[in-house]
Amino acid sequence: MLNFSILKTQSELLQWRQEQRSEVGFVPTMGGLHHGHCQLIKTAQSSNSHKKSQVLVSVFVNPLQFGPTEDFKSYPRNLQNDIEIARKAGANAIWAPSTNQIFKGGKDSIFRIQVPEKLQSRLCGAKRIGHFDGVATVIIHLLKNVQPNFLVLGEKDWQQYVIIRELIQALGLPIQVRGVATIRAQDGLPYSSRNQYLSQSERVQSLALPRELLKAANNFKQGKILDLKKTRSSLEQEGLNVEYLEVVNPHNLQPAKPSENYSLLAASVRCGTTRLIDHTFLMTRKPIIAIDGPAGAGKSTVTRAFAERLGLLYLDTGAMYRAVAWLIEQTGVDPKDQNKISKVLNDDEQDLIINLASNEYFKSIDKKILKAQILDIVFKEKKNDTYKVIGIYAKRARGLMVNYIIRNRITDPKALKNFSDEGYQYDDMLSSDSSWVFTRN
């Protein structure tokens, strides 16, 4: 049977933490555990090392994130039930500290973190003033005590997920953040501790929220104009009081621009006295999913199956390099003879070669022998007031550029200067005739 620890004091937590020899995955909760939390625990069990992670679940109802008229006193509390659910889901320990254990001297005697206005001026933050400041403050106190290797968060509250992720990155904490997509009951309603407030009739009524969001997303996917007024009206006709219904950029949480390919449709409603939130993603095109790994790891096999399962177009960027290999094989050229390879490519009668390969691949070609002009495409990121090539971002950007060329059927190289996917812009000052540089701040 799984060894399960129940921790209530900081000293008990410290002793448990010191005993661990594997990575520790942390699942912070306010209790009221349900199936959604169980999925977070299962995700936390996986580790980057060969050993299974140790999973710690915390139960702490944070007073800092409740407003004066909110349900702090009535929020579901049943520690014994939470312990049983966490244990059965595979957690190794549960930590249930008191308020004084987390906030020495009480909640009114501590320094508080202030979340940037742009991250909390929309969605839940617009109505729940100070809520996310309280969330940010408590998560830092929890992390300071637990010192996990990674943190597992649900994406149901997308705004909270983004804020915590940005906070950890801004403070430079060596903690990986893993998100788990919204877990839903069979009827489509996202799991939430507050669902138990709903009466049987309200439960049926609340299903209009995920249903209308999904309907709006499907209409948008089919090229129809997003009609928020119609969606709001449909929700209200079902007896739901709409607090907000917004379309935002999923990364900065600001109103989405019409030109953006990817956005978040989020809503908050009240069903009776119960506040419910939900969201869905809007995409003007199908997503581009990249996979990387060592040679021979089965990347192509996995990606092809993944694309087929999701109904996506499968594009193997390695095919660009294999196309050259096929041409060489057809002409009978020795693949070790760089001069002849260059001649074969030169005889292909191309006046211009646009180089979107990494240096690792393109260095095998003797550029001096090629008669065609070579145009190198370079992608740089702004770091510490200077622009630098960062491999992982450059690799993705090259794939985006290939997609841009295919999508727009580009035949004139000058049109590449209009490339602006994911914030990149052509930089005339850094570019030359043989090297076009695209930068991103």
3-state SS assignment for residue 144: helix
Give the distance, in angstroms, between the CA of residue 407 and the centroid of all CA atoms in the same chain.
25
Q: What confidence category does residue 105 fall into, taking pLDDT thresholds of 50, 70 and 90?
A: confident
Average pLDDT over all residues of the chain: 88
Domain(s) labelled CATH 3.30.1300.10 in the chain stretch across 193-283
pLDDT for the residue 356: 83
Entry field: residues in the chain:
441
DSSP per residue, 187-238:
TSPBP-GGGGG--HHHHHHHTHHHHHHHHHHHHHHTTPPP-HHHHHHHHHHT
Residue with tokens 């709006």: 216
**C-beta neighbour count of 166 within 10 angstroms:** 18
Question: Which CATH number does 5-180 carry?
Answer: 3.40.50.620
Q: Among 179-193, 225-239, 272-286, which stretch is predicted with the lowest mean pLDDT?
A: 272-286
**What's the CA gap between 190 and 200, in Å, rounded?**
16
Range 418-438 average pLDDT: 91
Residue 135, pLDDT > 90, answer: yes
pLDDT at 1: 45
Confirm if 308 and 286 have CB atoms less than 8 A apart. Answer: no
Over residues 330-365, the pLDDT tens digits come to 677 887 887 887 777 666 555 677 888 776 666 656
Q: Is 37 a catalytic residue?
A: yes
Fold of 193-283: Pantoate--beta-alanine Ligase; Chain: A,domain 2 (3.30.1300)
DSSP label at residue 65:
G
Which phi-psi region, left, alpha or beta, contains residue 223 (left: φ > 0; alpha: ψ -120 to 50)? left
Query: CA 226 to CA 178: how far, in whole Å?
Result: 31
Q: Which of 298, 226, 310, 238 is nearest to 264 (CA)?
A: 226
Backbone φ and ψ of 166, nearest 5°: -65, -35
Structure confidence at residue 401 (pLDDT) = 87
Mean pLDDT of 75-100: 95
DSSP notation for 341-370? HHHHHHHT--SEEEE-S-HHHHTTS-TTT-
Mean pLDDT within 228-249 = 97
Give the H or E element holding residue 16. helix 10-19
Phi, psi angles (nearest 5°) of residue 303: -65, -40
Alpha-carbon span 140 to 164, nearest angstrom:
9
Catalytic residue among 34, 35, 37, 50: 37
| pLDDT band at 321; cut points 50, 70, 90 | low
If one counts every other C-beta atom within 10 angstroms of the C-beta of residue 185, the result is 16
Question: For 78-86, what is the mean pLDDT?
Answer: 96
pLDDT band for position 433 (50/70/90)? confident
Write out the H or E segment, with its range, that includes residue 246. strand 241-248
Q: In angstroms, rounded to a whole number, what is the distance separating the alpha carbons of residues 427 and 108? A: 51
Q: Which of 376, 325, 320 is nearest to 353 (CA)?
A: 376
